[in-house]
Amino acid sequence: MDFLYSVLLVFLIILVIAYFIYTQYVVVESETEWVVDRLGKDRVLKEGINRFIPFLDRREAIVDMREHEIDPPAQEIITADNIRLNIDVIASVRVIDSLKAIKSVKDYKKAVESAISASVFSTLGNKNLEEIQKNVDAITKEIKENVEKESIKRWGVKIENIRIENMKQPKAIIDAMEKEIAAEREQRAAILKAEGEHKVAELNADSERLLIEKRAEATYKVIKDLKSLMPDISDEKIMSFLTKTSYIDSMRELSTSENSKFVVYPADIENSGIEKVMSAEYISKAMK
C-alpha cells in the first residue's frame, strides 16, 4: 500500500513538473483579444498576460477591438418615385463580443457589410428623392439602428456610425434640378423687384397723402385767418379768392419749369377790389 501511494505521489509530481514546463504565458496586446480553443471549449484571452498551454490550447483568431471602417460597394437603388440612385455608404464598427464575431459567422465584416447594403436598399427604396435629400441625417440614423439590432445580437458588432459618402443621380434629374433652381432664383428676383416697386408706390402714396393733408391744413388756416380779419366776408368770396389764388400759384409753378418759356395769365383772373383787400390783409398777416 505504501508503495502504491509512493508511485501515485511520484506521478503527480511529474504531472506538476510537466505542467509548469509546458505551460507558457503569453502577452495579449492592447485593444486585442484572442479566441482560444481548449479541447473543444472556446474561451477568450483579454489584453495583458495570459496562461497558454501548448498542445491543449489552440489560438483561433486575434480580434482587433478598435473601431474600424467597413466600406460596402456602391449600389443602385430605385426610389419610391422611380428614380435610380447610385448610393455609396461607409460605416464605422467595433467588435464588442469577440467570441460571437469569430464563432457565430465565418467573416463578420462581410456579414455586417451585407446587412448594411440590405438596409440601405430597403430604407431608401421606400422614400422619394426629395425626402431622401431633405432627411439624409435621419435616414442614415434609421439605417444604423436597423443594422445594429441584428449585428449586436448575432455577431457582437456595434455600429458606431453610418454615413452616405456619395449619391449619384441621373443626368436628366440633375439638369431638371438646375433648371428648377434657376427658375426659383428668377422668381425670387421678380418678387424682390415687385416688393421694391410696391414699397416705392406706398412711399409715393404716403407722400401724396401727407401733401394733401398739409394743403388741407393750409387751406383751413387761410379760411380761418380771413374769417378773423374780415368777419363779414361771405363764404362765396372766400372760395372765389382761394380758387383764383390756387390758379395763380399753379401758373407760377408752371412758369418756373425748365420747359416753360412764358406764361399768359387769363384776363379774368384779376382780383376784384375786395379780393385785393383780402390778399393784402392776408399777405400782411402772413408776413408778420
Closest C-alpha among 160, 159, 119, 166 to residue 139:
119
- Rounded distance, CA 36 to CA 195, Å? 76
What's the distance, CA 132 to chain centroid?
13
Q: Which residues contact 63 (CB under 8 A, 6 or more apart)?
A: 32, 33, 34, 35, 95, 98, 101, 102
Quick one: CA dihedral 39, 43, 46, 51, positive or negative? negative
**Quick one: pLDDT at residue 158?**
93
Cβ 138 vs Cβ 88: under 8 Å: no
Closest C-alpha among 166, 120, 126 to residue 140:
120
Say how many residues make up the chain.
Answer: 288
**Quick one: pLDDT at residue 253?**
56
Q: How many CB atoms lie within 10 A of CB 177?
A: 13
In this prediction, the residues of the chain whose per-residue pLDDT falls under 50 are 263, 265, 269-274, 276-278, 280-288
**Quick one: pLDDT at residue 284?**
46
**Quick one: pLDDT at residue 169?**
74
What's the distance, CA 226 to chain centroid?
69
Give me 23's grid cell. Answer: 505551460
- Rounded distance, CA 48 to CA 27, Å? 5
What pTM did the predictor assign?
0.53
Going along the chain from its start, the domains and CATH numbers come out as 2-63 (no CATH), 68-172 (3.30.479.30), 210-287 (no CATH)
E runs forming strands in 112-259:
157-168
**Quick one: pLDDT at residue 186?**
72
Question: At which residue does the C-alpha cell 421678380 appear?
Answer: 190
Report the amino acid identity of residue 176: A
- Rounded distance, CA 103 to CA 80, Å? 39
- Rounded distance, CA 191 to CA 279, Å? 53
Q: Is 45 helix (H, G, I), strand (E, B) or coil?
A: strand
**Quick one: pLDDT at residue 227?**
66
Q: How many CB atoms lie within 10 A of CB 218?
A: 10
Angle among Cα 86, 131, 161 to the nearest 5 degrees reads 65
**Quick one: pLDDT at residue 221?**
73
**Quick one: pLDDT at residue 93?**
93
**Quick one: pLDDT at residue 159?**
93
- Rounded distance, CA 22 to CA 37, Å? 17
**Quick one: pLDDT at residue 97?**
92
Closest C-alpha among 137, 146, 145 to residue 164:
137
